[in-house]
Chains A and B, each alone.
Chain A
Amino acid sequence: MSVLVYTESEQGKFKKNAFEVASYASAVAKMMGTTVTAIAFNTTEGDSLGEYGVSKVLNVKDSSLETFNAGGFAASIAAAVKSTDAKVVILSSSTDTKYLAPLLSAKLSAGYAPNVVQAPDSTSPFMVKRTAFSNKGFAHTQIDTDIKIVGVSINAFGAHENKTEVSVEEISGAADAATNDTKSVEIDKVVGKATIADADIVVSAGRGMKGPENWGMIEELADILGAATACSKPVSDLGWRPHGEHVGQTGKPVASNLYIAIGISGAIQHLAGVSASKTKVVINNDPEAPFFKAADYGIVGDAFEVVPQLIEKLKDFKAQNG
């Protein structure tokens, strides 16, 4: 028996969330008195998982699984669960993982709890705390099946070093008969820029920016901070920004360390999507804006004055602090 963790990689290199889920798996394994096996696809740096408590890495070497394919990945992970006799499977909360998780759940008849925010409350019975009601509440969910699948929320647990002797074994992948016909045709993705899903800092702006022509300063601020850009729903509905940037209950959830909201009123549907962010800063010219009640820090002022000042200040700050 062991704990199996699926560690995501891209072009051979692990994504940041891989170390977080490995750390989570290692915490669960400790509670259960067992070890952690990781499964990865075509990685070139399997060894590095040893830093986070993984003692064995199964590296799927399969040219048909070079790019993500939910069915094939789920089938391969299911096979590894069986070969390692794993009782607990740990996953991330990336879009890809949320695509394969339900397929895996069905294949293994395993209960799945997504958006888990901390180490299990207990492992027998197996109980985890996860967000529910779009971050307006938490549920303590008991998983009753023999095999349990846990999806860890982004940035909720963090990566924790825990050096362990590690071995890497190459295995072959499996195919999924049911979803076989679904194939990637084209990927259109921003490269070299932080994404809402994994950025430490997100700079988000709303209808208070008046129009798309004013987003230059938002992008400049994001650039200086190495942040991803985001927006409120009406901004994407109006076509000022792409849909992929819309955060909130009906958009993307944000769980960054720092969320800067500029000219966003703080409607309940918006707040639901950003409440998992650790520090929230609001810039709004209306001191009564509801967002101030949900924020840690704020400036009451006109974005068209505050943001340029903030950009200048941060440039100086970066020059001094590197």
Chain B
Amino acid sequence: MKILVCISNVPDTTSKINFTDGDTKFDTNGVQFVINPNDEFGLTRAMWFKEKQGATVHIATVGGPTVEPTMRKALAIGADEAFRINAEPTDGFSVAQQLAGVVKNGGYDLVIGGRESIDYNGGMVPGILASLTNMNFINSCISLEIDGNNVTAVREIDGGKEKLSSSLPLVVGGQKGLVEESDLRIPNMRGIMMARKKSLSVIEPVDSLKATEDKKFDKPAPKGQVKLADSVDQLVDLLHNEAKVI
């Protein structure tokens, strides 16, 4: 089985979010970049397929040279080979089109991405990619088993979960649940050394449709002071008469 994991390079979850250039750009100053958490769950599941079922695992990222440290980290976790498509990832549709080229050339059986990137929250790349490459698609996937060509998966639904059957080739939008938090791996020294020698090829982008453009950003208005209640009587009164929520 040949697996491609799509890795998005995102600000660490603790990052403070600021904008520059007249609020038209995300301010990367002092921000630490990491593997998108949803992709990390997917990558970890891919490692399981590698170790238990002999799968080959490649990764791909659409981005400039600055994404390479994050890609090396994925290689250190155990991916075999990496592809960087040299284009700024400005919109989900074009990112999916860039990845579609890699998927078609690589003949992958399984493509794992994340339910969403935690930065621009598009939630669209894996689904568009599946459509463009004529592959099956399962989103918000929280369990994935593969036996030959047959897929058994579970996806999250509002208020519960749904078990699905499908077949390869398949694209998955993964999230926590795909593996447990405790299964996530921190790269060790040996992994980091080996990652340096693994192949990371740079591919030039193809022409793509730029469907959306983030023109301007702003931040939520600062929160007013919290009102502390001295008793539950006062709290219920505030929620009923002032906030009018009960």
Chain A residues engaging chain B, CB cutoff 8 angstroms? 70-71, 94-96, 98-99, 101-103, 105-107, 109-115, 127, 130-145, 177-190, 193, 195-198, 200-201, 225, 233, 237, 243-244, 246, 249-251, 257-258, 268-269, 272, 275, 278-279, 281-282, 292-300, 306, 309-310, 313-314, 317, 321
Contacts and interface: CB of A to CB of B under 8 A. Distances in A.
5 contacts: A103-B131, A111-B211, A136-B219, A187-B160, A297-B228
A138 B16 CA distance: 14
B226 A145 contact: no
A106 to B, nearest CB: 3
Contact of A103 (B130, B166, B176): B130
Interface in B128-185: 128, 130-132, 134-140, 142, 152, 155-167, 175-177, 180-182
Contact of B121 (A114, A181, A187, A282): A114
Given A113-B212, A296-B226, 4 more contacts: A200-B245, A251-B176, A268-B13, A272-B13
A133 B121 contact: yes
Given A182-B136, A197-B159, A138 B164 contact: no
Contacts of A135: 220
Contacts of A300: 228
Given A105-B127, A136-B219, A182-B166, A95 B156 contact: yes
Contacts, number: 274
Interface stretch (B49-57, B65-73, B197-205, B232-240): B232-240
Contacts of A249: 13, 37, 118
B217 A296 contact: no
Q: Classify chain B's interface size.
A: 35 or more
B190 interface: no
Contacts of B139: 70, 95, 98-99, 102
Contacts of B238: 297
Given A142-B212, A145-B209, A293-B223, A179 B217 contact: no
Nearest to B124: A102
B91 interface: yes
Given A140-B214, A297-B239, A95 B123 contact: no
A107 to B, nearest CB: 6
A141 B214 contact: yes
B159 A193 contact: yes
A243 B158 contact: no
B186 interface: no
Contacts of A95: 139-140, 155-158
A155 to B, nearest CB: 12
B153 to A, nearest CB: 8
Contact of B239 (A185, A237, A281): A281
A111 B95 CA distance: 12
Contacts of B88: none
B213 interface: yes
B236 A137 contact: no
Q: Of residues B176, B209, B211, B217, which shows the largest number of chain A Cβ atoms within 10 Å of its Cβ?
A: B211
Contact of A268 (B14, B212, B215): B14
B164 A182 contact: yes
Interface in B30-51: 37-38
B29 to A, nearest CB: 15
Contacts of A101: 123-124, 127
Contact of A178 (B17, B134, B157): B134
A94 B158 CA distance: 7
Given A101-B124, A114-B122, A138 B217 contact: yes
A320 B92 CA distance: 52
Contacts of A134: 13, 118-119, 121
Contacts of B224: 296
Contacts of B212: 111-113, 141-144
B243 interface: yes
B232 A299 contact: yes
A217 B122 CA distance: 37
Nearest to B176: A250
Nearest to A127: B215
B123 A102 contact: yes
Contacts of A282: 226
Contacts of B132: 106
Query: Which 8 pairs between the two chains have the least Cβ-Cβ distance?
Result: A102-B127, A111-B211, A189-B160, A106-B131, A195-B159, A197-B158, A102-B124, A258-B245
A142 B19 CA distance: 18
A133 B175 CA distance: 17
